């Protein structure tokens, strides 16, 4: 293990690194991972775009669950892993971050640039008129519309919803777009069955194409949405380092593989290769920044 850690340090110290992060990086911030050691078995499948737009009952169920789950997401703060990545960027060793997460914690920790592959939970879009608003504003409106909705949330999922039965959500009232008056609101994240915007994917391929190495942090690489960048790096002959608890579908392409908790390992990495650098921008508690204009990894 020591030799592998030393090799990881040397790879990052050489610079030109692009980070690809997944849900495992946010578990130490209290947001569970579907597939990693902290993953909680869920009783319902993730919402698909087709079901969300075509089934009013399912859409009500989603918003009731998400309304409760948002409280946990909104309170989440960057952990040591996020801060270490930001520190490596500030040192000029990491060129960019591509994240499959929708929690906004990389940005809150001070990382830039960050490509949020699957969007952000703190932003809401109207599917009719395209107007964007903050999740904070929607949360206020939903609280006003549902003053007595105070069901205890037992399990919060990585995409920000919770497990509730139909009886618990039957009386939940949804709200429409305030701009056009009737539009359907959706969190500005990529649902299952929905396509990541082509321009966003193209930018990620460009970042990987210009990198010297790809560092995967906390992703099982189960879905092609993130794994395609590992495949692209391998085709280009770039070294791929994977740090994750548990096996990944990219292990066969990795030149380095570390199975360990991310926070302490990344903190040690940043301390070793960027000892004099401090990253700014850590927003602390309530780290998901509200957007004025916001699932799967």
* Structure tokens given for 297: 């990894």
Cα–Cα distance between 284 and 204 in angstroms, integer?
A: 28
Counting Cα atoms < 13 Å in the Cβ hemisphere of 262 gives 30
Question: Which is catalytic among the residues 67, 82, 106, 118?
Answer: 118
Quickly list DSSP for 237-270.
T--EEEE-SS--TTGGG-SEEE-S-HHHHHHHHH
Task: Please say if 82 is a catalytic residue.
Answer: no
204 is in an annotated binding site: no
User: DSSP 3-state assignment of 121?
Assistant: strand
220 is in an annotated binding site: yes
User: DSSP 3-state assignment of 25?
Assistant: helix
262 is in an annotated binding site: yes
103 is in an annotated binding site: yes
Cα–Cα distance between 271 and 178 in angstroms, integer?
A: 48
Long-range (24+ apart) CB contacts under 8 A made by 36-41 are 36/218, 36/220, 36/244, 36/245, 36/246, 37/245, 37/246, 40/155, 40/157
250 is in an annotated binding site: no
* Structure tokens given for 200: 């966003």
110 is in an annotated binding site: no
* Structure tokens given for 82: 């996020």
What is each CA distance from 31 to 75, 176, 216, in whole angstroms? 10, 28, 18
CA-atom Rg of the chain in angstroms: 19
129 is in an annotated binding site: yes
236 is in an annotated binding site: no
Pairing of strands 114-116, 94-99: parallel
246 is in an annotated binding site: yes
219 is in an annotated binding site: yes
* Structure tokens given for 261: 């908790």
245 is in an annotated binding site: yes
Binding residues for Zn(2+): 126, 129, 177, 180
Binding residues for NAD(+): 100-103, 218-220, 244-246, 262
Binding residues: 100-103, 126, 129, 177, 180, 218-220, 244-246, 262
Enzyme catalytic residues: 118
């Amino acid at each position: 293990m020591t030799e592998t850690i030393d090799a990881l340090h040397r790879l990052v110290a050489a610079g030109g690194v692009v980070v690809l992060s997944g849900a495992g990086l946010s578990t130490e911030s209290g947001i569970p991972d579907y597939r990693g050691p902290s993953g909680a078995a869920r009783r319902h499948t993730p919402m698909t775009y087709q079901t969300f737009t075509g089934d009013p009952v399912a859409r009500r169920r989603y918003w009731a669950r998400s309304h409760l789950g948002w409280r946990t997401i909104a309170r989440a703060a960057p952990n040591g892993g996020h801060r270490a990545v930001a520190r490596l960027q500030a040192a000029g060793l990491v060129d960019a971050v591509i994240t499959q997460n929708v929690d906004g914690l990389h940005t809150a920790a001070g990382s830039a640039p960050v490509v949020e592959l699957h969007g952000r939970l703190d932003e809401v879009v109207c599917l009719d008129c395209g107007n964007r608003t903050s999740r904070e504003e929607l949360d206020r409106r939903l609280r006003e519309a549902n003053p007595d909705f105070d069901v205890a949330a037992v399990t919060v999922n990585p995409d920000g919803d919770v497990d509730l039965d139909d009886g618990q959500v039957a009386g939940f009232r949804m709200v429409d777009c305030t701009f056009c008056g009737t539009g359907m609101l959706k969190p500005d994240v990529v649902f299952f069955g929905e396509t990541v915007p082509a321009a966003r994917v193209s930018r990620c391929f460009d970042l990987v194409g210009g990198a010297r190495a790809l560092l995967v942090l906390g992703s099982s690489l189960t879905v092609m949405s993130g794994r395609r960048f590992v495949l692209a790096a391998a085709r280009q002959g770039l070294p791929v380092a994977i740090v994750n608890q548990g096996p990944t579908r990219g292990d066969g392409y990795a030149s380095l593989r570390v199975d360990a908790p991310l926070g302490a390992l990344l903190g040690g990495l940043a301390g070793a290769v960027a000892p004099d650098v401090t990253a700014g921008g850590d927003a602390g508690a309530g780290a998901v920044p509200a957007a004025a204009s916001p699932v799967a990894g």
